[in-house]
Amino acid sequence: MLPADSHVHTEWSWDAPTGSMERTCARAIAIGLPAVAFTEHADYTTWKVADDGPDADEDLTALMTPEGTVTPPELDAVGYLECLQRCRDRFPDLRIVSGVELGEPHWHGAAVAAVLSAGQFDRVLGSLHCLPFGQQIYEMPGLYQQRPAEVVIRGYLAEIPRLIEGSDAFSVLAHIDYPLRYWPAAAGPFDPLAFQEEFRHALRAIAGSGRALEINTEGPLHLEIVRWWHEEGGMAITFGSDAHEPDLLARRFRDAIDIAEACGFRPGASPCDPWARI
C-alpha cells in the first residue's frame, strides 16, 4: 500500500492556479492512494523577485510591486476547511488530512499563530524557501544569480537549525533539499557528499527536536540524505509530492519508498502515520 501523500497543494494555495482539491481526491482514488494531506501555503515573507532569466515566472511577475517584491496573498483558512469538508463528504473512502505549509515560520510567529488558530490543521509543515542577502530577502533563483551555488546551499542548511529553534508550530520539516531544485547547470552535477557535514548538522537539529523529515519527490532524490537522517537519530519520515496540480499527486513515490526502506524506515499502522525507524 502506498503511504499518504503528506504534502499537496490545491486551488487554495496562492501559487497553484491549476490546482483542484476535488480533482486531486478523484486522482487519489484512481491511483489507489489511501490518504492525502492538503498542505496549503501560508507564506508571510516578502521577497525580491529574481530578474528575468530561465526561472522567471509569469504568475509571480503579476504579483510584483513596482519595487520588484512579492508578498503572497493570505490563505483563506475558512474557505479551505469548508472545501476540505465537502471533499470528505464526497470521497468517504479517502483519508483526507487537513494541513498547512508554513514558510519561514521562525520569522512570523504572530501570523503563524493567527492562521493556526483559524481551524484544525492536522499536518503542519515547516519550510524554508527564502534567505536574506544584503538588504533583501530572495527566493532560490534570486540567490543563485548573486552568490556561488555552494554558498547558497551552505547558507540554506545553516538556516535550518534556526528554523527549528525559532518555531515549534510545525511537526515536519519539508523539502530540506529545496535549493537543489534550482541548482544551476553551470555549477556542474550536484554532489551531496560535498555538503555532508552541513546536511548532518541540519538533520541533527531536526532529529533533536523530535520532528519528522519529509522525502519530497518534486526535486532530485538523494538516498544519502535519508541515510544521514537515520544515522543522526531521525525517528520518522513522511512522503510528499509537493504537487500543485492533480496529475502530480504521489509522483515518484515508488522511488521514495525504495529509498526509505533501504535507509531503515518502515510504515506505521495507518497510511497517515509517518514511517518510523527500525
Site for Zn ion in 13-72 (CB under 5 A): none
* Cβ closest to Zn ion, residue 6 vs residue 229: 6
Cell of 67: 519595487
Q: What is the dihedral of CA 200, 205, 207, 208, to 10 degrees?
A: 130
| Residue (127 or 167) nearer to Zn ion, CB | 127
Shortest Cβ 2–Zn ion spacing (Å)? 19
Calculate the dihedral angle through the C-alpha atoms of 190, 193, 198, 200, rounding to the nearest 10 degrees.
130
Geometric angle at alpha carbon 219, from 214 and 220, rounded to 5°: 100
Pick 5 or 101: Cβ nearer Zn ion: 101
Alpha-carbon distance of 122 to 126, in angstroms, equals: 13
Cα–Cα distance for residue pair 163/134, rounded to 1 Å: 20
Give the shortest CB-244-to-Zn ion separation in angstroms: 8
Q: How far is the CB of 66 from Zn ion (least distance, A)?
A: 27
> At 184, is the secondary structure helix, strand, or coil?
coil
Binders of Zn ion: how many residues, by CB under 5 A?
3
Site for Zn ion in 165-224 (CB under 5 A): none
Cβ closest to Zn ion, residue 14 vs residue 230: 14
| Shortest separation between residue 6's beta carbon and Zn ion, angstroms | 11
Residue 245's CB is within 10 A of a number of other CB atoms, namely 18
Stretch that binds Zn ion, among 69-77, 115-123, 125-133, 185-193 (CB under 5 A): 125-133
Alpha carbons 219 and 47: distance in angstroms, whole number: 22
Residue 242 or 245: the one with the smaller Cβ distance to Zn ion is 242
What are the grid coordinates assigned to 143, written together?
A: 540567490
Instruction: List the grid coordinates of 174.
Output: 519539508
Q: Any contact of residue 127 with Zn ion (CB under 5 A)?
A: yes
Contact stretch for Zn ion (CB under 5 A) within 16-24, 49-57, 75-83, 98-106: 98-106
Nearer to Zn ion, 159 or 230 (CB): 159
Q: Cα-Cα-Cα-Cα dihedral of 215, 179, 248, 119, to 10°?
A: 70
Name the residues that contact Zn ion, by CB under 5 A. Answer: 101, 127, 242
